[in-house]
Amino acid sequence: PKKVRIPYLHGLKQRGEKWAMLTAYDQYSAEIFDAAGIPVLLVGDSAANNVYGYGTTLPVTMDEMLPLVRAVSTAAQRALVVADLPFGSYQGSPEQALASAVRMLKEGLAHAVKLEGGRQLAPAIELITGAGVPVMAHLGFTPQSEHALGGYRVQGRGDAAEKLVEEALTVQGAGAFAVVLEMVPAPVAAQVTKALDIPTVGIGAGPDTDAQVLVWQDMAGLRGGKAPRFVKRYADLRSELTRAASEYADDVRAGTFPAPEHSFEE
């Protein structure tokens, strides 16, 4: 199958065709979503929550991200692989941002990087894209800033809507090829989507963005507990895996596994 590249995604926007992005953090998730036709896989810094078990995205490091990025890039045949730059790996200077982006492509074999922020990050986006590395921006609720933002809350309400549109135009002007809009009122996300030539990728941003993204463990019901409002569960993998593990344990206790067909003769 033909590889997904950025001009293809821009063509989808021009034709008004929507597309889905999913996170992936390992070989099988990447292989399965790629084969299912998901055109863009994000190795999110949400690996902090969904792989490493940290409470926020803040602790995850480049050294923790790189092996996951490399696994996803190696497994994906067709999808464009975007790697999140983790907190602290790009905010220091455009040069630091470029160095981190280069590592994601060189060591992680990613095709593009994503970073959180607008006007403040424009010089970094310019330098990275100038070096030939595509950048996806991320506006609205930006989890790496959760302490400054005062927790998980909708962004871009009221007067902040106009600023969000401006920030989106700024990252587009700096060279971003797409922009994630997280937890933004649906009408505001629609307005940003209309104002931009590059695709918007919504999460908690309503139905009118060019694309959608979900964390795969949320989408597939692997994570327990109450999911955020913007999540739709398309499977119940947590129950299914729980059932499989307890049946296996039951079989072992009962002596019904392994059976002769799982055993070797002399």
| Distance separating alpha carbons of residues 139 and 224, to the nearest angstrom | 27
Which residue's beta carbon is nearest to the bound ligand KIV? 44
Per the annotation, does 210 bind a ligand?
A: no
Listed residue (112, 236, 98) closest to 176, CA to CA: 112
Per-residue x/- mask for Na ion, residues 69 to 108, rule CB under 5 A? ---------------x------------------------
| Distance separating alpha carbons of residues 35 and 20, to the nearest angstrom | 13
Q: Is 83 in the site for ligand KIV (CB under 6 A)?
A: no
182 is catalytic: yes
Q: Is 135 in the site for ligand KIV (CB under 6 A)?
A: no
Pick the piece of the chain touching ligand KIV (CB under 6 A) from 37-45, 72-80, 87-95, 249-257: 37-45
Pick the piece of the chain touching ligand KIV (CB under 6 A) from 44-52, 100-108, 166-174, 240-248: 44-52
Label residues 189-200 b or e (16+ Cβ within 10 Å = b). bbbbbeebebbb
Catalytic residue among 95, 107, 182, 261: 182
State whether residue 104 is helix, strand or coil. helix
Per the annotation, does 251 bind a ligand?
A: no
Q: Is 62 in the site for ligand KIV (CB under 6 A)?
A: no
CA 233 and chain centroid, separation: 17
Q: Which is nearer to ligand KIV, 98 or 219 (CB)?
A: 219
Per the annotation, does 63 bind a ligand?
A: no
Return the residue matching tokens 């090829």: 177
Q: Is 180 in the site for ligand KIV (CB under 6 A)?
A: yes
Mutual angle of helices 94-106 and 122-130, in 10-degree steps: 40
Q: Tell me the residue type at 47.
A: A
Listed residue (14, 23, 21, 47) closest to 201, CA to CA: 21
Q: Catalytic residues, which ones?
A: 182
Residues that bind ligand KIV (CB under 6 A): 23, 42, 44-46, 84, 180, 203, 213, 215
Q: Which residues are annotated as a binding site?
A: 45-46, 84, 114, 116
